[in-house]
Chains A and B, each alone.
Chain A
């Protein structure tokens, strides 16, 4: 039930719904963004790997991806994929193991973001070292 002042403030103004920022919402937004990026990556990857139908085209493909720009993009891919995977695990825990129940909720998003950061850095370091 909104307090009277809030109702008065809205009177005559265009209605504008604003969701209050909280970490669960931010986690969801990034899950959606990374998901869309990943399916676009899948489409690209499948198209590239389809050059496997012919030894010469595949070799040209493998030579083309030796370019350092792709090595850098792969780190970006790892960032996107590891975020989506770790947050996805959190979603499964919330859906099936009650991770968002009031007693358990406190900080589940932050915990997973820390895990994500560790996983990402752990994978990125060897990738960057082999650039």
Chain B
């Protein structure tokens, strides 16, 4: 049962876990910078207005679907992991597990919402 200790430590915010999250925050942060520039460029500097017709045309392409979903995944990971860091720093009671679970669910729901919005567009 000792392996469970590592799992519980992670959720109780001890020093025994979190090295992967530390690294992924840096990696996702840099990735987000690049993805954000791409996203901003294609939305606002590609010479087309932002209306349903043009966005639907862009999202019909699987490449842009993949780009947008990758962006959402990185952004949700980085942001919600940031929230987790704040929870670990400021919530020390058992509520910590609750709030982490809550934001886990929020993250999954937003990922599902992004998929529902982005995937249906057909060429």
Could you tell me which A residues sit within 8 Å of B by CB distance? 32, 35-36, 38-39, 42-43, 46-47, 49-50, 52-53, 55, 58-59, 62, 81, 85, 88-89, 91-92, 95-96
Contact = CB atoms under 8 A, between A and B. Distances in A.
23 contacts: A36-B83, A38-B79, A39-B79, A39-B82, A42-B76, A42-B79, A43-B110, A46-B72, A46-B114, A50-B114, A50-B116, A52-B55, A52-B56, A59-B51, A59-B52, A62-B50, A81-B36, A85-B33, A85-B36, A88-B33, A89-B33, A95-B26, A96-B26
Contacts of B51: 58-59, 62
Contacts of A59: 51-52
B26 A91 contact: yes
Contacts of A36: 82-83, 86
Contacts of A91: 26, 29
B113 interface: yes
Q: What are the nearest 6 A-B pairs in CB distance?
A: A39-B79, A55-B52, A58-B52, A35-B82, A50-B117, A88-B29
Contacts, number: 58
A32 B52 contact: no
Contacts of B114: 46, 50
Given A50-B114, A52-B56, A59-B52, 4 more contacts: A39-B79, A55-B52, A58-B55, A88-B30
Interface string B32-75: 01001000000000000011100110000000000000001001
A89 B26 CA distance: 9
B75 A42 contact: yes
A35 B51 CA distance: 29
B50 A53 contact: no
Contacts of B101: none
B55 A46 contact: no
A49 B117 CA distance: 8
A85 B56 CA distance: 29
B79 A35 contact: yes
Interface string B12-41: 000000000000001001100100100000
B84 to A, nearest CB: 11
A53 B120 contact: yes
Contacts of B75: 42
